[in-house]
Amino acid sequence: MAISVTINGTAHSVDLPDNVPLLWVLRDAIGLTGTKFGCGIAACGACTVQIDGVAVRSCQVALADVWGEVTTIEGLGQPDNLAVIQQAWIDHQVAQCGYCQSGQIMNAAALLAETPTPTDDDIDAAMQGNLCRCGTYPRIRAAIKDAAQRLTEV
């Protein structure tokens, strides 16, 4: 039986087995390929999306267990209307190969929603599960702090 899932504000009827990971629903059924597969075992964070604003590893959430509205990197902003965090990422030239970055941004956005003015320790604690083989961690931290400042000035 098809399962209804709301993704980036649009309701989708997904006719896949209950236990299919949300990651593959997003990428293969819906065509939202901004969310990446890294490890498949909750160890890298590349697949991070938000459900009701909470950062989750989409490789670990079964379709039947999706409890709320899903937001992916495609839903965070648009090329002509970027989210503040996305603009900060560009301004700080965070991405190198880019593979981990959608997961990094989705986790960072969830952090800022929960903790508008994070300390370095807050950032490190929140982001430690999002791995970057290119070592962009210093720029990630700088972009998060910059986005926090911009958001609290609004």
Going by C-alpha positions, the residue among 141, 129, 146 that lies closest to residue 85 is 146
Which residues, numbered 48-67, are part of the site for ligand FES (CB under 6 A)? 57, 59
> Does the footprint of ligand FES cover residue 99 (CB under 6 A)?
yes
Structure tokens at 133: 């083989």
> Does the footprint of ligand FES cover residue 101 (CB under 6 A)?
yes
CB of 33 to ligand FES, least distance (A): 14
> Does the footprint of ligand FES cover residue 137 (CB under 6 A)?
no
Q: Which ranges of the chain would DSSP assign to H, the alpha helix?
A: 22-24, 73-76, 84-91, 101-114, 120-127, 137-153
Question: Which of 125, 133, 138, 152 lies at the binding interface for ligand FES (CB under 6 A)?
Answer: 133
β-partners of residue 6 are 11
The C-alpha atoms of residue 67 and residue 108 are separated, in whole angstroms, by: 21
> Does the footprint of ligand FES cover residue 95 (CB under 6 A)?
yes
Per CB under 6 A, residues contacting ligand FES are 37-40, 42-47, 57, 59, 95-101, 132-134, 136
